Amino acid sequence: MRVGTWNVGTMTGKGRELVEVCKRRSLDILCVQETKCGGNSSRQLGHRYRIIYSGESNNRNGVGIILSPHLSEQVVQVDRQSDKLMKVKMISGGGMINIISAYAPQVGEKEELTKDLECMIDTMPVGEKVIIGADLNAHLGEGGEGYRRIHSREGYGKRNAEGQKALESLEGLDMAVVNTFFKKREKLKITYKSGQGQSQRDFIMTRREDLKMFSDCKVIAGEEVVHQQRLVCGVVKVKECKKKRTSGKKDSNMETNRRYLKGVLLSTAEEVCGTSKGGKKIDKETWWWSEEVQTSIKKKKEAFKNWQRGGTDQLKEVYKEKKKEAKRTVAKAKEEGYKEWYENLDTREGEKTIYRIAKQRAEAKRDIKEIKDQQGEVLTGGEKIKERWRKYYTTLLNKENQRDELEDIPPVEGPTEELTRKEIIDAIKAMKKGKAAGCSGVSADMIKVLEESGVDIMVDIIGTVWEEEEMPEDWKQSAIVPIYKQKGDPLDCGN
């Protein structure tokens, strides 16, 4: 798993570019600072990457955490302390891991941030992992004199007063500065560069006892999304949970015949109709990402790399010009995209799109998608979560209610009458078209389109079930989709 931290300056217009960086650098988690996003929420950035952020209405400061598609489904808790500090707790490797994004402004408020950070870490259970991605706006210095347990000798620059205070606080928390424990070239230590000035002020930190879970940490200098601030990236070793193999059960003749029929129906349907992954999701953040925009962004990146290699004023001016061109191209593409969007709102298709996007937005803003057990503990495994839902619905759907006693009815003597062909035909006709298939994947439409052949097939299958008193396995299965009621604890099954 790869974890990064980056002061992005602002998130405005950078969402898609940051996603491209995450994909290219294989980043699973990216802590971002100075997002300047107002409010406390979360949203999709594209390619199913999601940012959970914390900010104020004045659009200053702001912190956030960008998660990969897989990890965004593992969030169990979000704690937004302020526009300078937030935490996301998630399931990873069968255990809990806390990701903290922190930002210390250059002027004032650092003491308040330090107190909030200390309080946040002190309240975490000892067994849980902690990773902090932060812009401390402090120089910790090249050597770790006096703080060798948490600061090795691979820092950069001279320690200042702010750096001294930061080290004192980190020593009290026993938090190691991961950047300083891996030997790198000087340019892979610098996190901020402007003109002739350069420093190391962005850091990844973890509990000293958990330092061994990091196999590498360095600065990546080649990304131009933010040309003064540089991306810090760490590699974390995470144990993957092995799935237990389940022993197979030998199929009966009934099950074998059913599986054969099911395979024929599904393969024929796929050959004739094809398959679909569902409707195309429209992402407000990326619908304007046209070929022209991508080309302009690519030219800006090339100009930035040329400037970094050459370092001349002429190359710097070329980069500035390409950057302006890219901004104009993005602004134009967005304007045209919004114009087309608003023109379609009055149409029937536009009306459907509004509801579809509203639904997607509501889903994207959900921070938490895990559940607790009956004792209030957050479950950390897929099988445990399934078992919790099974127990919950077993109790819910099998609850005994008071009911009137039925009168004794004399039993019907003699053999049970077989189902007639007419009864099966009436049942097939009564089935509605266009409904979702069950766990078997065979829908009513597939049976209806077969007409008499479909009736013959169903008569044969149901007749066998009736005689042998044995039902196919996937007829016994069902799927329940729980929907959060938007009130109460989202980790509670009852909500």
Q: For residue range 156-201, what is the model confidence (pLDDT) as tens digits?
A: 999 999 999 999 999 999 999 999 999 999 889 999 988 788 999 9
Phi then psi for residue 335, to 5 deg, are: -60, -45
Q: Is 235 in a helix, a strand, or coil? A: strand
Give the residue from 49, 29, 43 showing the smallest Cα distance to 89.
29
pLDDT value for 279: 53
Query: How many whole angstroms separate alpha carbon 82 and alpha carbon 91?
Result: 23
pLDDT band at 258 (very low <50, low <70, confident <90, very high): low
Query: How many whole angstroms separate alpha carbon 368 and alpha carbon 266?
Result: 35
pLDDT value for 314: 85
Facing residues of 4 across strands?
30, 233
In this predicted structure, the answer to whether residue 268 has a pLDDT above a threshold of 90 is no
- DSSP codes of every residue in 166-203: HHHHHHHHTEEEGGGGS---GGGT--EEETTEEE--EE
pLDDT value for 431: 86
pLDDT value for 107: 65
pLDDT value for 463: 77
Q: Is 52 in a helix, a strand, or coil? A: strand
In this predicted structure, the answer to whether residue 261 has a pLDDT above a threshold of 80 is no
pLDDT value for 230: 92
pLDDT band at 133 (very low <50, low <70, confident <90, very high): very high
Identity of residue 64: G
Give the residue from 174, 106, 175, 91 showing the smallest Cα distance to 139.
106
- Structure confidence by residue, pLDDT tens digits, 430-484: 888 888 887 777 888 887 877 777 777 777 777 777 777 777 777 777 777 787 7
Query: How many whole angstroms separate alpha carbon 451 and alpha carbon 246?
Result: 39
Residue 161: count of CB within 10 angstroms of its CB: 9
pLDDT band at 257 (very low <50, low <70, confident <90, very high): low
pLDDT value for 81: 92
Q: Which burial class, exposed, middle or buried, applies to 272 when counting CB atoms under 10 A from its CB (0-12, 13-18, 19+)?
A: exposed
- Structure confidence by residue, pLDDT tens digits, 269-293: 777 777 665 555 545 545 567 788 8
Angle at the Cα of 117 (from 174 to 22), degrees rounded to 5? 90
In this predicted structure, the answer to whether residue 391 has a pLDDT above a threshold of 50 is yes
pTM score over 0.85 = no
Facing residues of 232 across strands?
5, 219
Cα–Cα distances in Å, from 2 out to 97, 121, 133, 218, 232? Answer: 13, 22, 12, 11, 10
Query: How many whole angstroms separate alpha carbon 156 and alpha carbon 144?
Result: 10
pLDDT value for 4: 95
Packing angle of the helix pair 452-468, 253-273 (nearest 10 deg): 160
The DSSP symbol for 206 reads E
Q: What is the mean pLDDT of the chain?
A: 81
Higher per-residue confidence, 370 vs 136: 136
- Give me 319's structure tokens: 């980069």
In this predicted structure, the answer to whether residue 345 has a pLDDT above a threshold of 80 is no
pLDDT value for 361: 64
Contact 180, 189 (CB under 8 A): no
Positive or negative, the CA dihedral 262, 394, 487, 76 is negative
Return the half-sphere exposure (C-beta side, CA atoms, 13 A cut-off) of residue 321: 7
Mean predicted confidence (pLDDT) in 330-354: 75
Percent of the chain residues topping a pLDDT of 70? 86
Contact 269, 246 (CB under 8 A): no
